[in-house]
Amino acid sequence: MKFSTSTVISAVVLPALVSAHDFQHNVRHAVHARQAASSAASAATSPAASSAAASGAASSGALTTGASSAVSQAPTASFSLLSSNPNAVPLASINAAAPSQATVPLDTTYAAGATPTVLSSAPPLPNPSSIVISQYPALDKVPPTDSDEVKQWIQEVQNSGINIPGFSPTVAGGCPANPSAVSDSSRCWWTCSGCTRDTDITTCPDKLTWGLTYDDGPSPYTPTLLNYLDEQSLKSTFFVVGSRALSYPATLQAEYMGGHQVAVHTWSHPQLTTLTNEEIIAELGWTKKIIKDVTGVTPNMMRPPYGDIDDRVRAICTAMGLTPVMWTRISTTATFDTGDFDIHSGVTSVSQVLANWENILGNATTINTGFIVLEHDLFQQSVDVATGYILPDALANKYKIQPVVNCVNKPLSDAYIETNDNSTNPPIASGAATLSSGAPGSAQQTGKSGDDSKNSAASPLASSPVALGLFTAVVSLLGSAAAILM
């Protein structure tokens, strides 16, 4: 069944799957660090929230509702779910005004030297207490590029033989502020045109398979999500922010040891196309390092914050052994993004998120591949809607739910350099894009904001435009969606 891809919200017509999440994406993440710190502080100091009974139908029935009245200023919508969690937080309690819930402890913590049962060749688990925080960059800031570590990574990128395109960094203001970059089809700027390459993972090859992903953690609320995933025998891919990994190493270890896939989501969550080459290298390098220092393994997948990637960023990822993972898009208006992040800020209501989810499922049945959805584990609201409603509904609909590495038909061992034997999944820099699904998928974004003081010139690492041979195919540009969201 095909669902409508548009809905009327406050007299503004927005694509149903390009929610307020996309419209406000850059604005809200400008305060990404402040919100994360506030979330952690609230979780640590607030009294225990009272437990809530489930709202709506039991897990065997349908849950149907109209607009939620909990946050009147947020856009609302109608939706119908096949199932919900009997222990779900009531929908009326999932809003920006919700008090901080008591956080739950991890089910299991792990001793140094332990190894995951699902990775027979994994190195021993490091002791996170040996990590010296002062030896890492400041939290939630783009790392400096003059440290010995970053200089080494820069040299490794230079030695990789990968040509880095000579595109200048983009400037603040997103697509409207960068008309020349938008019009340059050779740039393949995902943000403004929906352009992808065959080296981007955008879908799962098998129909009705969901590549489950969560961005921006670990957070104080990630253990709640992990507990539910364990109860349902589900595994996910966690795109980790380096600053959060340094703050919550035990949670990162629990993700890894529990058989979930851990991947890179940068150190401070910037728009990567706005950075110099050296800054991109620092963002990716420090995140790879903290993940290895905590888990003992180095991931080989990444997701660019906001989906902000072009061929310059792709080439640096390739040189650093990282495969970009996006989320599925089937048209300029049908983007597989729940918008769950924006419940916390009040920009989006939980009813709109569930309407987005319903549209995602409707559109998923119309394509010949599986799909990947954008969700987050940074805030309690996004975790509540995932564990209470989205995941139970997906299970009731009989979707096959897997981490990205498994959904592209690779074993979990292929997700890490130390456990990848290079026979089934050779490093991306070798020229074999073995993890690509080869299907189109992306999302558009406009009106970005941020500090552009460092973006006035191209990085000295920039060279001639990347050769077409770096990527195995050229994906034609989709129409710019800037006009839709302006």
Section 466-483 average pLDDT:
34
Helix (H) or strand (E) holding 9: strand 6-9
Least confident of 81-90, 200-209, 451-460: 451-460
Number of neighbouring beta carbons within 10 Å of residue 218: 29
Position 428 scores a pLDDT of 54
Question: How would DSSP label each residue in 97-121?
Answer: TPPPPPPPPPS----TT---TT-TT
Q: What is the pLDDT of residue 372?
A: 98
Q: What is the domain partition of the chain in residue ranges?
A: 1-486
pLDDT of residue 421: 77
Q: Judging by beta carbons within 10 Å of its beta carbon (0-12, 13-18, 19+), is residue 182 exposed, middle or buried?
A: buried
Structure tokens at 58: 């039991």
DSSP codes of every residue in 408-442: TT--GGGGBTTT--SSSS--GGGT--TT-------
What 3-state class would DSSP assign to 325?
strand
Instruction: State the Cα–Cα distance between residues 30 and 34, nearest whole angstrom.
Output: 9
For the residues of 268-279, what is the DSSP string, one character each? S---GGGS-HHH
Considering only residues 478 and 107, tell me which one the structure prediction assigns the higher pLDDT: 107
- Compute the CA torsion angle 428, 432, 436, 441 (nearest 10 deg): 80
Instruction: Please give the C-alpha separations between residue 454 and each of 34, 138, 238, 447, 450, in angstroms, as whole numbers.
Output: 22, 18, 30, 19, 11
Please tell me which of 51-55, 172-176, 425-429 the model is most confident about, judged by mean pLDDT: 172-176
Query: Looking at residue 265, what is its pLDDT?
Result: 98
Residues 333 and 319 sit within 8 Å (Cβ to Cβ): no
For residue 65, the model assigns a pLDDT of 55
Query: If we measure between CA atoms, which residue out of 369, 440, 441, 357 comes closest to residue 408?
Result: 369
Dihedral sign computed on CA atoms, order 9, 13, 17, 18: negative
CATH number for region 1-486? 3.20.20.370
Residue 319: predicted pLDDT? 96
For residue 43, the tally of other CB atoms under 10 A from its CB is 16
Closest by CA to 452, choosing from 193, 284, 273, is: 273
Question: pLDDT tens digits, residue range 57-70?
Answer: 333 345 655 444 44
For 330, the token pair is 């089937």
pLDDT at 381: 98
Catalytic residue set: 215, 376
b or e along 449-477 (b: 16 or more beta carbons within 10 Å of the residue's beta carbon)? ebeeeebeebbebbbebbeeebbeeebeb
Which has the higher per-residue pLDDT, 331 or 104?
104
Contact 264, 288 (CB under 8 A): yes
Residue owning tokens 């970005």 = 448
Global pTM reads 0.79
Higher pLDDT, 132 or 428: 132
- Comparing 65 with 29, the larger pLDDT belongs to 65
- pLDDT, one tens digit per residue, over 307-358 is 999 999 999 999 999 999 999 998 877 889 999 999 999 999 999 999 999 9
Whole-number Cα distances in Å, 148 to 155, 287, 421, 461: 11, 16, 29, 17
pLDDT of residue 216: 98
Residue 234 φ/ψ, nearest 5 degrees: -110, 150
**Triad 129, 130, 134: Cα angle to 5°:** 100
Average pLDDT of every residue of the chain: 79
Residue 50 confidence (pLDDT) above 70: no
CA atoms within 13 A on the CB side of 210: 27
172 vs 189: CA distance, rounded Å: 15
- With b meaning 16 or more CB within 10 Å and e meaning fewer, what string describes 135-168? ebbebbebbebeeeebeebbeebeebebbbbebb
Q: Note the pLDDT of residue 69.
A: 42
**Range 167-176 average pLDDT:** 93
Q: Per-residue pLDDT averaged across 350-368, rounded?
A: 96
Task: Please give the average per-residue pLDDT across 411-422, as a whole number.
Answer: 91
Helix (H) or strand (E) holding 314: helix 311-319
404 closest CA partner among 197, 204, 118: 204
Q: What is the pLDDT of residue 120?
A: 85
CA distances from 112 to 124, 128, 240, 253, 432 (A): 7, 8, 21, 10, 35
